[in-house]
Amino acid sequence: MKNSIHKNSFKLIILVSGRGSNMSSIIKNSMLLNWPIEILAVIADRDCNAINLAKKLSVPTVILDYKRFRNSKRFNIELFSVVASFNPDLVALAGFMRILNQEQLSCSKHIFLNIHPSILPKYKGLNTHKRVLTGNETFHGATVHSVTGDLDDGPIICQGVVPVLPEDNEALLAARVLDMELKIYPSAIAAILSKKIVFKSGVWVKSEKAIDLPAFYFSKIVFHPYFSKHEKEKIVEKLVF
Ligand code: GRF
């Protein structure tokens, strides 16, 4: 399957470290829906499943093995230099396990996005599903946000909300959240490339100048079909954006 490259296509880099399901969803959505998007490269900090999947999808890959670098600063300098050499419009972190250096980020002219498996600002960091279950939460989900130098922080683009059910264990809940991630991440990227949302004064705002994209729907909050109208309204009151 070849990615369709339009003359004025939007250029994307994807950073990965592991399984690669978000990366695949972004690539497959853009290919199947024929969005004007060119995936310049998938860059990994280690050899991983995502690299194999990217190769199968005919996307160029780069591995910058973090173990070869003396420290995180050196790794970041090399990473930002490789990213800059591609000159992308957007860089999407999809399960990328390194924290980006604040200094490098503020010097970079590129926008970096991340997806995190929780309804931020709650449950930053690792093991979110386990912590949500221990915290007796009734809902959970995922957030797409732009990246700052702080862990799982930055202006929120959209959130996908799923229920926590009585019979849930970590695996069941993780699968439900991942299913939501695979919908909202491509949709957030499409919203940026179609200019449906723009980054202004430190926040993502709706824009009137959007271009049409085939089969594309963007909403700041996406709910799992489980929720009733009343439950959705109650949850919206609790969200911070
Ligand atoms: C996802 O849950 C994502 O939210 C988190 O890391 C996981 C990556 O999974 N940042 P995959 O590599 O996309 O399958």
Task: Tell me the per-residue pLDDT of 161-200, one tens digit each, with 9 for 90 and over.
Answer: 999 999 999 999 999 999 999 999 999 999 999 999 999 9
Catalytic residue among 116, 129, 140, 145: 116
Say yes or no to pLDDT of 159 above 50: yes
Q: What predicted TM-score, i.e. pTM, was given to this entire model?
A: 0.94
Per the annotation, the verdict on 116 as an active-site residue is yes
Q: Is 226 helix (H, G, I), strand (E, B) or coil?
A: coil
In this structure, what are the phi and psi dihedrals at residue 42, rounded to the nearest 5 degrees?
-110, 125
CA of 125 to the centre of ligand 1 (A): 12
**HSE value, Cβ hemisphere, 13 Å, CA-based, for 182:** 14
CA of 53 to the centre of ligand 1 (A): 14
Residue with tokens 């853009």: 30
For the segment 71-115, what is each residue's pLDDT rounded down to a tens digit?
999 999 999 999 999 999 999 999 999 999 999 998 898 999 999
**From 16, 19, 131, 180, mutation site for ligand 1 pocket: most ligand atoms within 8 A of C-beta:** 19
Kindly state if the Cβ of 45 falls inside 6 Å of ligand 1: no
Range list of H helices, the chain: 21-32, 49-56, 72-86, 102-107, 128-134, 170-193, 229-238
Cβ neighbors of 161 (< 8 A, separation 6 or more) are 119, 139, 140, 141, 180, 221, 222, 223, 224, 227, 235
